[in-house]
A and B are shown apart, each in its own frame.
Chain A
């Protein structure tokens, strides 16, 4: 396995995770390279979401560590890990359903500008022109400009995902983690999302994407890791993975 080269942004170093007796992750070692899109595929229950949970600080690993640009993330709190540049889109959208769409994005922008804690109550929100303009700009790019004043909770599932993506990107993160961003979407919405993600990739963003849909994986990924039963069973380019018999087996196993 290729070890940390110079342009590795995120290194998942030999991570194990057990839940009681269940080995959710074993010996997981991943190197995510700068400006590349790295897909993690694998059947349901393979441990993909658990891996992301460990990266963002939601779960501690049983063993091993996660390193971002040479700094150890493991043991840090979720807000500290985000402030270091890790942004995540969840499998079920995590947004502020009681706030308006634009406020969702503005909250995110404040976190980036002001840090983990800063009291601001002498100025009103209305006078935060710069943040507001950036929020409007990104929502326009994401095709949500006609929904800016709506409650985020009233958006369709696809739009909620899109909003969550906008919330992540307004922070200009070092690395973007996507957990099944097209799950439950129609073919048409999936294609729009692929185009959107291609644009994001073109800006030089480093992306980790968990995905079920092979069409999405082959359209976007530079590198693919296959996770099954908590282990990485194969790793390579999309074409190599397409040809691999191990991968076929893992997937056929799931289908039966």
Chain B
């Protein structure tokens, strides 16, 4: 159950080290505060789960924001009605996002390609709109769902007295805000990453890749592809639900804006930017986008003046004026340009860039003997398009 191929085990250990030391190595980037660290872990988990669907099967879902939202609401309701325990809240997030994904997946997967995407988009937008209107007794509409002093919290109040201030989520006394909250989300991320590794390296993962490559061939080979698709859709939806639950655990306020389609769109960007179909790529994509959104967007002209202080005065002003268009509120511009560059020059995302650099170094090391076989591979690769 817990054994994975050696290569995957090494990846996992390295990944765990990188994640758990984030508070240290993110310090020089000005990104080492708990609220942002938690977001890094949560959105990485979301992207890893999204990639199980999009990366392995090629099915592009615009509905994952809905599962994120369902997970958030389920967790807050678990706080309000039962207990501030995060594990209980996550269980409800898993349950409800799973049921939701099963229903939406069952219908959307009757179609493939663009029609599948549109169906998921329609369901997500419907959930978003309903959260503001018909469902507002559950979602509390525009105010968002929050804790109140009068919440029943049936389980908690059997053991402790009702306090005079709002409680925070805690795991047997360990608070889920601050750094301990980050470590909780980080551990959930690692569990999610491990499961994604297992799926990717299993026969099930191979079937999913087969569906992406040639779904018709899968059918003529004897596979009923629909239940495979539905399974991975639900798993992927549960990842989003857990991510939503974690957002509520670290900050118990759930709003419907999480369910808007732009949130799903951002998820697609993360995955493509980092590298579709790779395990690490979506994580990098998620971190980059969250970094831009939270840090880069806060840069202003005075930060830039500090940055370019070494330049001659007049020149410095020009450089600052130009570059200021790309930071602060202009961060979307930078991100957009980066996205365009990646898609045009590195269709495999940042991970492909890393691979290319890797091969470059390898080729430099053992120059001559390799060259012929490499050019052979190239020419046969270029044939790929046919058929």
Interface residues of chain A, those whose CB is within 8 Å of chain B, are 56, 77-79, 82-83, 87-88, 92-99, 103, 106-108, 110-112, 114-117, 119-126, 128, 150-151, 153-157, 160, 167, 171
Query: What are 9 of the A-B contact pairs (CB < 8 Å)?
Result: A56-B220, A78-B219, A79-B220, A95-B214, A97-B214, A106-B206, A110-B206, A124-B201, A153-B384
Interchain CB contact under 8 A, B202 and A95: no
What 3 A-B pairs come out closest when comparing CB atoms? A111-B222, A82-B222, A121-B202
Partner of A94, one of B198, B209, B217, B381: B217
| B372 close to A (CB within 8 Å) | no
A97 touches B213 (CB 8 A): yes
Q: Which residues of A contact B173 (CB under 8 A)?
A: none
A128 vs B202: C-alpha distance when bound (angstroms): 9
Given pairs A79-B220, A95-B217, A154-B377, 4 additional interface contacts (CB within 8 A): A78-B220, A82-B220, A93-B387, A124-B202
Q: Which residue of chain B has the shortest Cβ distance to A97 in the bound complex?
A: B213
**B205 on interface, CB distance cutoff 8 Å:** yes
Partner of B223, one of A87, A116, A156: A116
- Residue of A whose beta carbon sits closest to that of B1: A122
Contact B387 A88 (CB under 8 A): no
Chain A binder among B94-102, B224-232, B267-275: B224-232
Q: Give A28 to B204 CA distance when docked, in angstroms.
A: 40
Contact in complex: A94, B204 (CB < 8 Å):
no
Contacts of A83 in B (CB 8 A): 222
Please tell me which one of the listed residues A79, A106, A155, A157 contacts residue B224 in the complex, with CB atoms under 8 A apart. A79
Q: Bound complex: CA of A199 vs CA of B201, how far in Å?
A: 35
Q: Which residue of A lies closest to B3 (CB)?
A: A124
Q: How far is the CA of A80 from the CA of B202 in the complex (A)?
A: 24
B311 within 8 A of A: no
Kindly identify which residue among B209, B218, B223, B380 contacts A154, using a CB–CB cutoff of 8 Å: B380
Determine how close the nearest CB of chain A comes to the CB of B266; give it in whole angstroms: 26
Question: Knowing A98-B213, A123-B202 touch, does A116 contact B224 (C-beta < 8 A)?
Answer: yes
Q: Is the CB of A124 within 8 A of B5?
A: yes
**Known contacts A121-B198, A160-B387; A111/B221 CB under 8 A:** yes
Whether the pair A121, B199 counts as a contact (CB closer than 8 A) is: yes
CB nearest neighbor in A for B197: A124
Q: When the two chains form their complex, are residues A128 and B203 in contact, meaning their CB atoms are under 8 A apart?
A: yes
Q: Is the CB of A117 within 8 A of B224?
A: yes
- With an 8 A cutoff between CB atoms, is B129 at the interface? no
Partner of A96, one of B205, B213, B225: B213
Q: Determine whether B210 belongs to the interface, using a CB cutoff of 8 Å to chain A.
A: yes
Structural contact, B213 and A111, CB atoms closer than 8 A: no
> Which residues from B are CB-within-8-Å of A93?
387
- Asked whether B207 is an interface residue with its Cβ less than 8 Å from the other chain, the reply is yes
Interchain CA distance A82-B220 in the complex, whole Å: 6
List chain B residues, Cβ under 8 A from A154: 377, 380-381, 383-384
Min CB–CB distance A84 → chain B (angstroms): 9
User: Is B112 part of the binding interface, using a Cβ–Cβ cutoff of 8 Å?
Assistant: no
With A and B bound together, what is the CA distance between A160 and B212 in angstroms?
A: 18
Distance in angstroms between the alpha carbons of A106 and B221 in the assembled complex: 11
Interface centre among B201, B212, B217 (most CB of A within 10 A): B217
Q: Which residue of B lies closest to A94 (CB)?
A: B217
Report A-chain residues with C-beta under 8 Å of the C-beta of B222.
79, 82-83, 111-112, 115-116, 171
Asked if B4 CB lies within 8 Å of chain A CBs, one says yes
B214 touches A94 (CB 8 A): yes
Residues from chain B with Cβ under 8 Å of A87 in the complex:
220
Which residue of the partner chain A has the closest CB to B379?
A154
> Chain A residue with minimal CB distance to B4?
A124
Q: Which residue of A lies closest to B2 (CB)?
A: A122
What residues of B have a CB within 8 angstroms of the CB of A156 in the complex?
383
Binary A-proximity of B153-178 (CB < 8 A = 1, otherwise 0)? 00000000000000000000000000
A124 to B205, CA, bound (A): 9
A106 to B5 CA separation, bound complex (whole angstroms):
18
B323: chain A residues within 8 A (beta carbon) = none
Partner of B205, one of A79, A82, A121: A121
C-alpha spacing A125/B227, complex, angstroms: 20
Per-residue contact bits, chain B 310-346, to A (CB 8 Å; 1 contact, 0 not): 0000000000000000000000000000000000000
Residues from chain B with a CB closer than 8 A to the CB of A167 are: 221
Report the nearest A residue to B235, measured CB to CB. A121
Max chain A CB contacts within 10 Å: which of B5, B209, B220, B377? B220
Q: Which residues of B contact A123 (CB under 8 A)?
A: 202-203
How far is it, in angstroms, between the C-alpha of A119 and the C-alpha of B202 when the chains are bound?
A: 10
In the assembled complex, the Cα of A112 lies from the Cα of B216 at a distance in Å of: 17
CB distance from A187 to the nearest CB of B (A): 22
If the complex has contacts A88-B220, A97-B213, A121-B199, are A107 and B383 also in contact, measured as CB distance less than 8 A?
A: no
Residues of A within 8 Å of B210, CB to CB, are 96, 99, 107
* Complex CA distance for A93 and B198, rounded to whole angstroms: 31
The complex places the Cα of A153 from the Cα of B386 at a distance, in Å, of 8
A114 proximity list for chain B (CB < 8 A)? 203
Contact B203 A151 (CB under 8 A): no
What are the residues of chain B within 8 A of A79 when measuring CB–CB? 218-225
Interface hub of A79, A103, A114 (most chain B Cβ within 10 A): A79
- Bound CA–CA A121/B225 (angstroms): 16
Known contacts A82-B221, A95-B217, A154-B380, A121 near B204 by CB under 8 Å: yes
Which residue of the partner chain A has the closest CB to B226?
Answer: A117
Distance between A47 CB and nearest chain B CB, rounded to angstroms: 20
